[in-house]
Structure 1
Amino acid sequence: MANERRTARSPARTFFSPATIIVVCALGLTLLGLTVLFSASAAFRNKAGVEVPYLYLQKQFFGVMIATVVCIFVSRLDLDYVRRYAWWIAGAALLLLAIVLIPGIGMKVKGSSRWLGYGPVRLQVSELGKFALVFCLAHYLALNQMRIGELRRGFVLPLLIVGGFAGLVLCETDMGTAALMIFVGFALLFLAGARWRYLLPTIGLALGGFVVIVLHSPNRLRRIMAFLDPEGTRLSAGYQNWQALLAFASGGIDGAGLGQGRQQLNYLPEAHTDFIFSIIGEELGLWFTLGVVLTFILMLVAGLFHLRRAPNLFQYLLVAGCLMLMCVQAIVNLGVVTALLPNKGMPLPFISAGLSNLMLMGLVVGIIINTQRNWGRAVLPDNAGGMREVLA
């Protein structure tokens, strides 16, 4: 029939597609995270000092269920239809980032106002802000792709979008997330074709601004000094990093065994979140830590191969931004825990405890699955004059 559409698929090619590799890696990391949290939260005590075994494991399992629902929902969306509401998505995210700064509404923890929530349920809105930035910036750059070389439309206006998101996050005193947003924003501008003569001076100014902020922030300056002298600051600002290094040293090649590590017995603060990689090193050993690193490298490589099939600039930039949110965050976390980077609270994707980051990762993987379903098809005329759909 002339109007009949038929789909021919190769099961082997679909199974070994970049998106499938990313999904399998994400599932493996998530299962590893649940396993390690089973150990890391075994001796958890609440503020009253009462032992609450496996509290974080229960929360993480709930978070994984929510992230799975988000992933499946996003994977079925029509991205071109959702793109019509890009500015509404950006506006809602900016509004939430502003609301969290209002005293009495935003939840303040350790001097930072980053969360909205009620009771034990908390949402870190900057995690959703990361995705909103990527989505609306990809939309804007694709909409103005013929004007990327212009100063105002191709550089200044998208820079204001990045500055709006990063500025509000910086007001939460979350410098690491703000830096991540700025990095992703500049990377998307570069991929879209922004001119180097605009990019390089602006990057220099941004780096200079961060240096000034660090120099005028005693807490951040202490973190830098602890990074430069971890042994000398092991009892003060460098305590977390020093304990993390001790965990890797005591784990060795084979590890102490699941549940046999000592750092999760309240020696290492935030062992279940930002420093969970050190618990993996202590209890499961070198091979598992290398496995985590290689898994993230495999996800990055698979994502780069996936990008080669992007049908338009919007979806190319959207997936590239999602890939950076996942992999750059992992690089920062692994660098901090192994004392290669200054201490900055940033969770390890799929593994660290936390509902907000799990939801973001669900969004990211959902976008990759969505694009795999749509990019894997090419429409060609058949012999009857109609159209047939085949795997690209």
Structure 2
Amino acid sequence: MIYQYGTGKQKVLPADFDQALIWTAILLLSLGLVMVYSASISIAEGEGSGYPTYFLIRHAAYVAAGLLVAVVAFQVPMESWQKYSFQLFLLGGCLLALVLVPGVGREINGSRRWISLLVVNLQPSEFMKLFMVIYVANYTVRKSAFLGSFRKGFLPMLIITLIVGALLLLEPDFGAFVVITTVMMAILFLGGMDLKLFAGLIGFLIAGLLALVWNAPYRMQRFFGFLDPWDDPYGKGYQLSHALIAFGRGEWLGVGLGGSVEKLFYLPEAHTDFLLAVIAEELGFVGVLIVLALFAWIIARAFIIGRQSAVRGRYFPALVAQGIGVWLGVQTFINVGVNMGVLPPKGLTLPLMSFGGSSIVASCLSLAVLLRADWENRQLARGYRI
């Protein structure tokens, strides 16, 4: 790639990219590939696929697709993401509605969250997280003068959140609803929303979440079941009790790669929602600590990139970068909390690592947007046009 500046030309150099961020993402993707294979061998054989590499091959294909999408997305300027933010939001909303159409949406384990694309299933809520980041960031920049007004600044975003939330809860996908709502609140706060309105929003959402939990028996069971999984270890506490056993068996250094016992049909969703428990059992506390450190680095870089954009007066890229950091941070926190028994079970994957095509592609796409924001900052710092 060559970019024009004045009468000269600028070649793309390695220094134009955040090498540490790229390699951190590659490490997480690579470790996720290894651990998904380790966690899914028995499941692949037991489900009748006939060969132990069934999930490994599919996951590798998802990672390849995610990297390809990331390379393409990196070419898109931040200005274009801002220009088409509403169209992206509308696309995400239509896909969420399409999931609910009988014969189109696919139901798995009582939830209708996927659209079948013959060889793969598309989960729109994963991409809606990024689309909401982009849309809310653009909304915050456009409405910056009205963020202290309830009617002009707060009410439109509240209505949008309620519409998206209703679509997600009809699936139901309570975990995605929590993540998207948290991201929306964080971006509005970072964008300068009036503190009184923000406090009122927090109170309203907390009351709404508690009402949703109270009015759904299965959510009540999950909420109280995680407080003492040993009270019903063969019922509502089954997943969590086996996840805790996996953590306990791992101790400091783990039982060794491939040596997990819990993945042998004891721990449900070992290669998806509870992949961290398998990591804890096989690689121990040290392995979990390394994974958390890698995620912490990505999240920290997202906020630093956002701050660098804001210093240059580029408020949309700043809010997008920090919104991506909040999204990855919140989803990682929830997944880790569920695996460790400090949060009630939620159907959220570990970004960049857990098995799941939509999650992998959406995570790679978000990092490409983050890298683009950083790349544009570096070009401006060197005096080049973008």
TM-score bracket for this pair, using the shorter chain length: over 0.9
Corresponding residue of 1:186: 185
- 2:305·2:318 contact (CA, 8 Å) conserved in 1? no
- Structure 1: gaps of 5 or more residues: 381-387
C-alpha offsets along residues 131-160 of structure 1, whole Å, 9 cap, x if unaligned? 111111111211222222222222111222
Tell me the amino acid that sits aligned with residue 353 of structure 1. Answer: F
| Aligned equivalent of 1:385 | none
Q: Please say if residues 44 and 51 of structure 2, whose CA atoms lie closer than 8 Å, have aligned partners that are also in contact.
A: yes
What residue is the counterpart of 1:284 in the other structure?
283
- Distance in 2, matches of 1:119 and 1:334, equals 32
1:80 aligns with 79
With 332-341 and 157-166 compared, the bigger mean Cα shift is at 157-166
- 1:330-341 maps to which residues of 2 (within 5 A)? 330-341=332-343
- Give the corresponding residue for 1:309: 308
8 Å Cα contact 1:224-1:342 kept in structure 2? yes
Question: TM (normalized to structure 2)?
Answer: 0.92
**1:265-309 CA-partner distances (Å, limit 9, x unpaired):** 111100000000011111122211111111111222222222221
**1:3 Cα offset (Å):** 3.7
Identical residues among aligned pairs (%): 30
1:9 and 1:390 in contact (8 A); partners too: no
Q: CA deviation at 1:246?
A: 0.6
- The residue number in structure 2 matching 1:40 is 39
Paired residues in the alignment total: 379
Matched residues in 2 for 1:340 and 1:190: separation?
A: 26
Cα distance in 1, alignment partners of residues 337 and 381 from structure 2 = 44
2:145 matches 1:142: no
- Identify the match of residue 384 of structure 2 among 371, 386, 389: 389
Counterpart of 1:377 in 2: which secondary structure?
helix
Deviation of 1:227 after TM superposition, in Å, equals 1.2
Query: In 2, Cα distance between the equivalents of 1:306 and 1:206?
Result: 29
Tell me the alpha carbon deviations over residues 215-237 of structure 1, each in whole angstroms, 9 at most, x when there is no partner.
11111111112111121121111
Amino acid at match of 2:172: T
1:371 to 373, 377, 386: 373
State the shift of 1:355 in Å.
Answer: 0.3
Higher helix share: 2
Cα distance between partner residues in 1 of 2:364 and 2:298: 15
Deviation at 1:83, TM superposition (A): 2.4
Aligned pairs (5 A) from 1:192-203: 192-203=191-202
Map 1:154-303 → 2, pairs under 5 A: 154-303=153-302
Shift of 1:25: 1.2
Verify the 8 A CA contact 1:8 1:390 in the aligned structure 2.
Answer: no
Deviation (angstroms), 1:43: 1.4
In structure 1, how many angstroms separate the alpha carbons of the residues matched to 2:224 and 2:232? 8
Query: Shift of the alpha carbon at 1:162?
Result: 2.3
One-letter amino acid of the structure 1 residue matched with residue 384 of structure 2: E
* 134 and 257 in structure 1: CA distance in 2 versus 1, 3 angstrom threshold: same
Output the amino acid matched with 2:91.
A
- Rounded to whole Å, the distance in 2 between the matches of 1:51 and 1:111 is 26
- Per-residue CA deviation, residues 179-235 of structure 1 (Å, 9 max, x unaligned), is 111111111111111111111122112111111111111111111121111211211
Q: In the alignment, what sits opposite 2:360?
A: 358
- 1:115 alignment partner, SS class: strand
Within 2, Cα distance between the matches of 1:130 and 1:246?
32
Match of 1:190, as an amino acid? F
> Cα–Cα, structure 1 residues 43 and 81, in superposed 2: closer, same or farther, change >3 Å?
same
**Aligned 1:116-131 pairs, distance under 5 A:** 116-131=115-130
Q: What is the root-mean-square deviation in Å for CA atoms of aligned residues?
A: 2.2
Q: What is the rounded CA distance, in whole Å, between the counterparts of 2:6 and 2:33 in structure 1?
A: 49
* Gapped regions of structure 2 (runs ≥ 5): none
Measured in 2, the distance between the counterparts of 1:248 and 1:353 equals: 20
In the aligned structure 2, how far is the partner of 1:117 from the partner of 1:334? 29
